[in-house]
A and B are shown apart, each in its own frame.
Chain A
Amino acid sequence: MHHAPASITDVSMQWPTVGEVWRTVTLQAGFNAAVVVAGTALLGFAAGVVGTFALLRKRALMGDALAHATLPGVALAFIVAAALGAGGKSLAVLLPGAALTGVAGVICVQLIVRHTRLTEDAAIGAVLSVFFGAGVVLLSWIQTMPTGGQAGLATFIYGQTAAMTVRDAVLMGAVAVIAAAAATLLFKEFALVAFDDAFARVQGWPVSAVDLAMMSLVVLVTVIGLQAVGLILVVAMLIIPAAAARFWTERLWRMTLIAGIIGALSGHLGASASALLPRLPVGSVIVLVSGAVFVVSMFAAPARGVVAGAARAARLRAKIARDHMLLEVGRLSSAGPGAVRINQIARARGWGALTAWLTARSLVRRGLARVRDGEVTLTGAGRAATDRLARTRALWEAYLTRYADVAPSHVDYSADLVEHILSPEIVAELESTLPGRDAPPEGAAA
C-alpha cells in the first residue's frame, strides 16, 4: 500500500470555482462527469436500501469482511488475465474475481462460527485481515511481474472515480438499480426474516434462501462499489445511511427510503467533489458526507435523537422529583401546619438546595403549590394530586406483591421507580382487579 498515500498526503490541489462546483453537482460539467456522478448516486441509493436490511438482520459487519476479502480476488483475476494474455484491467474480469473471494470470505466467517465456539465478531476480524493481507501480498507480487503496471489496482483500495469510464459508470448505475429493485420486491420477505426468522421458518419461508438473496445484494453493491468507493470504505455506504435513517422514523419502508436518499446524496456529493478535486478519493468524501448526516441525525432527530432523549429523561426526572415533593409535603404537613420548609424536604429526600428549589418552582408553575418565605403549601389541586399519587403507589405495591413474584423486601424500591411509568389506564385497570386493596400491601404477600 506504499504507492497510494502519496496522492492522499499531497495537498497541492487546484480549488474549483463556485461555477464549476454548481455545474458538477447539477450534472452539467460534461457527459463523462455527469454519468459518473449519477452512477455513484445510484450506487449510494442501492447501498442505503440494501444496507437497511443488512443492518436490521445484524449482518452489517459481514459486508466489511466481504469487502476486504475482495482484494485477493481482484489481484488473482488480474494475474490470471495477464497470464492468458488478456488485458488485466477490465472490470468484466476483475469484478467476478472480487465477488468470488468476497463470497469465500463470508463463507469462511460462517464456517468458523458454525464449527468453533468463536463469536461472529472474532471470525469477521480474523477473516477480514487474512484475506486483505493476502490481497496486499498479491498486489506487491504483481508489481514485480513483467506485465507490471498494477497502478490501476490500487484504486480498488481507496476508490477513485477519475479513472472510471462511462461504461464502468453505467454498469455501476444499472446494477445498483437492479439491486435496489430486488430489495424492494423482497421487502416483505426481508422484513419478516430480519424481525423473526423462527416465525418465518414455521410459516414455511426458506430462511436461508432469503438470507442468501440478501447477502447476494450486499455482494452486488459491494463489488460494483469497489472501483468508485474502494473496498475499505464501501461498507460505510451500507451501514451509515441505514443507521442514520433509523433515527428519523419507526417505519421500515420510510427507513429504507431515507437510507436510500442519504446514500444517494452522499454518493452524489462524493463523486462531485472527486470530479472537482481529482486527487480526492471519492470513498472518503462519501463517508464524510454520510457521517455528517449521521451525526446530525443522532443529535437532532425528534424522537430517537440524543437531544430529544436527554430532554425526555430530564422531564421524567423533574416529574419524579415533583411527585416526591408532593408526597413529602403531604407526609410532613399531615402532622403539623400546612406549610413545609423547602430545606426540610431537601433533607428528607437527600436533595441539594437547587433541586428542591427548582422542583418547588415547578409545582408552583403547575398550580399545585404556593411558596412563601421558603415554605411550601399545597393548593387544592396539589392535595388532590398527592392523594392520587399515594393511591397509585399503594396499588402498585399491592399489585407487585400479589401478581409478580417480587420479594416483599424489594417492593418499596420498585414501587418508587415504577409508579412514574404507570399510565392512568393501567391504574384504573389495577383498581378494578384488586378487590382487597384495603388490606395493607405487605400483608398481601403472606
Chain B
Amino acid sequence: MTAALAHPRPAEADAPLSTRPEHSADSPLSIHALTVAYHRKPVVWDVDYDAPVGSLVAIVGPNGAGKSTVIKACLGLVPRAAGRVEFWGQPYRRVRRRVGYVPQRESVDWDFPVSALDVVAMGRYGRIGWVRPVTRAHRVAALECLERVGMRQYANRQISMLSGGQQQRVFLARALAQEADLYFMDEPFAGVDAATERAIVEVLRDLKSQGCTVIVVHHDLQTVPEYFDEALLLNMRVVAHGPVAEVFTRENLVKTYGGRLTALSEAADALAHADRRAS
C-alpha cells in the first residue's frame, strides 16, 4: 500500500495511464506520480492513486499534508511540477462537463450581491455557454438542486444572510447543478452544523447510488469509517490508500499523523469507532 519512493519512468510517457498495469482502465480518476511544489518547495510528493467507480473517497491527513493541493492539482487550479492526472483515461479538458467541484467555503467573498439560487445556477453556466442568458429551465434545475440539499426556501436569500452550513449547502447544490459523474469536495464538512452534515451525507449516498464517484477532503477521522468507502491517507506522500476497512489501521494513522498527540487520540477514537462498527 505504501507509495513507492521512486517510479520507473517508462519510455512511452504519452500513452494513456489506463494502458499501464498499475492503473485500471475504467477509473474515473487516475493520478500518476503527481508532485506539486509552491515556491520550489514540494508540498505533495509522488502521489499515485486510482479511484474506483462509484465510491466515496476520503482524503485524510494532518494540516499541511497537501489534501486540498491534490484535488486542486487534479483540476488544474495549481500547476503540477510533475506527474499526470487522467479522468476515464482522458485529460481534464476533454471531460470538464463530467466533473463537479465544491471549493472551500472561505475561498469566496460571501458579500457578493447574488442570491443562493444565482450561485447554484452558476453550476449550469458550463452547459449554457458563452453570452446566452440563464433560461427558466436552468433556473428550475438549480431550484431542484437546492431542494436536494434542503435549501429551497432560501433560494432568494442573499448569500451573506445564510449561516456557514447553509452556505456550504449552496456550494454543494451548485456542484449538483453541474450534473457530473465525478465530484471533488474540499472540506465540505468543515465547521458545519448537524443539519448540514446530515444533508451532505445524504447527498453523498445519493450520488453513490447513481454511480458517481466523490473525492472528499476530510478532516474528521471519526466519521471516515461511517461516511466513506475508500480512504487516501496523505502526509505529503501517500501513506496508504484503499478500502477504509483495510487502510484505517493504527499503524497507518500513526504514520500519517506522526507523533501528534491530539491527532493520535482522535485516531484511537476513530479506530474504536471503526471496530464497533465492524463487530
Contacts and interface: CB of A to CB of B under 8 A. Distances in A.
Contact of A191 (B114, B130, B194): B114
Given A201-B77, A249-B113, 14 more contacts: A188-B134, A189-B131, A191-B122, A195-B119, A198-B77, A198-B101, A198-B103, A199-B122, A202-B99, A204-B93, A204-B97, A250-B113, A252-B113, A426-B193
Interface in B224-263: none
Most chain B beta-carbon contacts within 10 A, residue among A185, A198, A246: A198
Contact of A246 (B75, B113, B131): B113
B115 interface: yes
B133 A199 contact: no
Interface string A309-334: 00000000000000000000000000
B201 interface: no
A430 B133 CA distance: 41
Contacts of A252: 112-114, 118
Interface of B: 72, 75-77, 93, 96-97, 99, 101, 103, 107-109, 112-115, 118-119, 122, 125-126, 128, 130-134, 158, 174, 178, 191, 193-195
A211 B118 CA distance: 20
A220 B244 CA distance: 57
A186 interface: yes
A342 interface: no
B182 to A, nearest CB: 12
Contact of B107 (A185, A198, A205, A433): A198
Contacts of B134: 188
A429 B163 CA distance: 14
A192 B195 CA distance: 28
Contacts of B133: 188
A196 interface: yes
Contact of B122 (A195, A246, A430): A195
Interface string A168-204: 0000000000000000011011011011101111111
A194 B113 contact: no
B96 A203 contact: yes
Interface string A412-438: 000000000000001001100100000
A204 B113 contact: no
A250 B130 CA distance: 24
A196 B118 CA distance: 12
Contacts of B108: 195-196
A192 B125 contact: yes
A194 B122 CA distance: 12
Contact of A188 (B103, B128, B158): B128
Given A185-B131, A195-B112, A201-B76, A433 B194 contact: yes
A194 B75 CA distance: 19
A31 interface: no
16 contacts: A56-B112, A185-B131, A186-B131, A189-B130, A189-B131, A191-B122, A196-B122, A198-B101, A199-B122, A199-B174, A201-B77, A202-B99, A204-B96, A250-B158, A251-B118, A254-B113
Contact of B126 (A186, A191, A204, A403): A204
A205 B108 CA distance: 17
B103 A403 contact: no
A190 to B, nearest CB: 11
A292 to B, nearest CB: 23
Contacts of A199: 101, 103, 122, 174
